[in-house]
């Protein structure tokens, strides 16, 4: 059983108030008394119950990052950027995955609210987030992550996904592809819709180009492999170029094509999105629209702490990063490690 403060006080021969001062206001205690208390703490193996203390004070020393899929390397990199800010402020950061489920997302937000977290970075599943109003009323700041805010009263950090989708489609069109397919889903996720909208914008610039859409059930490698099967079922003028809503989908499409004895980019040129580390290491290195992953998390966490510490002056900011295209072998026969 863990030692209590009362046991520490008895061993050190001091009052409970002195123990509290050593733990919370050590400058108020003489050096000799402090050393005696610290020796008793070490001997008994006492560990302070910060959780209980912080909950009594009405707030924990925890930040939360709620993302669509905690297994996705993109979100792991984003979370690492946020964690660097939390570390610098002696805060604990927890990463939570909603599994692309609105029901699960709302349940997690409720639990985080009950834990009195200092603030939340949220990459939401859909447009309707019922828990936001409750978090606002409780005074828990929420910054949208990888999703732009549509209201001036909410800070957000995002990437221009419409521009990113446009980059991907134009790249394929510049290579001569005129029959494209967009692979992405669920449709409820705004980033998925925005990347498709950008690709459609590029396609609309060419009367000779068309783009079909395959909605996937998730943003995973497995869903990408299933989508590849559906692409191959398009026997009437099959697509020669694919724009995928993220790299995991793109890697699934690529993997399925290779397993069926087909060639990338000869039979299908593929562009992913996010430029995760696995993209460059794929069997055929993946062309991808790059997002500044760690910078997204770092910037979002800084905005969140400005609100936590009342430094924002009730001003909310919406930051938007510009994506870039990294060209590799999944679209370029002559790829030699160049970027564009």
Model pLDDT, residue 1: 59
pLDDT classification of 340: cutoffs 50, 70, 90:
very low
Report whether pLDDT(52) > 80: no
pLDDT classification of 338: cutoffs 50, 70, 90:
very low
Q: What pLDDT digit, counting tens, does each position of 259-311 carry?
A: 999 999 999 999 999 999 999 999 999 999 999 999 999 999 999 999 998 87
Distance CA 172, CA 232 (A): 19
C-beta atoms surrounding 290 within 10 Å = 20
Annotate the chain with three-state secondary structure.
CCCCHHHHHHHHCCCHHHHHHHHHCHHHCCHHHHHHHHHHHHHHCCCCCHHHHHHHHCCCCEEEEEECCCCCHHHHHHHHHHHHHHHHCCCEEEEEECCCCHHHHHHHHHHHHHCCCCEEEECCCCCCCCHHHHHHHHCCCEEEECCCCCCCCCCEEEECHHHHHHHHHHHHHHCCCCEEEEEECCCCCHHHHHHHHHHHHHHHCCCCCEEEEEECCCCCHHHHHHHHHHHHCCCCCCCCEEEECCHHHHHHHHHHHHHCCCCCCCCCEEEEEECCHHHHCCCCCCEEEECCHHHHHHHHHHHHHHHHCCCCCCCCCEEEECCEEECCCCCCCCCCCCCC
The residue-averaged pLDDT of 153-158 equals 95
Higher pLDDT, 236 or 188: 188
Model pLDDT, residue 42: 86
**How much is the pTM?**
0.81
The residue-averaged pLDDT of 44-51 equals 69
Model pLDDT, residue 128: 85
Distance CA 203, CA 86 (A): 42
Model pLDDT, residue 59: 62
The residue-averaged pLDDT of 13-37 equals 87
* pLDDT, mean over the chain: 91
Model pLDDT, residue 57: 47
The residue-averaged pLDDT of 309-327 equals 90
What is the share, in percent, of the chain residues with pLDDT greater than 90?
Answer: 74
Distances (CA, A) of 211 to 1, 170, 274, 325: 65, 12, 21, 20
Q: What pLDDT digit, counting tens, does each position of 89-142 carry?
A: 999 999 999 999 999 999 999 999 988 899 999 999 998 898 998 899 888 999
Model pLDDT, residue 2: 64
């Amino acid at each position: 059983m863990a030692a209590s403060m009362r046991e520490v006080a008895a061993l050190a021969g001091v009052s409970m108030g002195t123990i509290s001062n050593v733990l919370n206001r050590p400058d108020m205690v003489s050096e000799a008394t402090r050393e005696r208390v610290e020796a008793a703490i070490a001997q008994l193996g006492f560990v302070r119950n910060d959780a209980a203390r912080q909950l009594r004070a009405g707030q924990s020393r925890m930040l939360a990052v709620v993302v669509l899929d905690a297994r996705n390397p993109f979100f792991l990199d984003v979370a690492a950027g946020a964690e660097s800010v939390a570390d610098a402020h002696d805060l604990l950061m927890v990463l939570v995955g909603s599994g692309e489920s609105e029901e699960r997302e709302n349940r997690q937000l409720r639990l985080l609210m009950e834990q009195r977290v200092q603030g939340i970075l949220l990459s939401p599943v859909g447009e309707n987030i019922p828990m936001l109003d409750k978090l606002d009323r409780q005074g828990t700041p929420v910054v949208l992550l990888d999703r732009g805010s549509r209201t001036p009263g909410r800070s957000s950090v995002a990437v221009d996904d419409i521009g990113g989708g446009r980059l991907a489609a134009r790249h394929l069109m510049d290579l001569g592809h005129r029959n494209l397919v967009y692979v992405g889903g669920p449709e409820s996720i705004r980033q998925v819709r925005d990347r498709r909208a950008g690709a459609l914008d590029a396609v609309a610039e060419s009367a000779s180009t068309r783009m079909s859409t395959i909605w996937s059930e998730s943003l995973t490698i497995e869903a990408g492999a299933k989508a590849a099967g559906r692409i191959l079922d398009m026997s009437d003028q099959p697509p020669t170029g694919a724009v995928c809503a993220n790299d995991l989908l793109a890697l699934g499409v690529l993997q399925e094509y290779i397993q069926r004895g087909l060639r990338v980019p000869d039979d299908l040129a593929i562009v992913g999105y996010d430029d995760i580390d696995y993209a460059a290491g794929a069997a055929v290195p993946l062309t991808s629209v790059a997002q500044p992953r760690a910078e997204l998390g770092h910037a979002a966490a800084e905005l969140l702490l400005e609100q936590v510490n009342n430094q924002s002056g009730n001003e909310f900011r919406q930051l938007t990063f510009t994506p870039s295209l990294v060209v590799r072998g999944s679209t370029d026969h002559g790829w030699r490690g160049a970027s564009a």
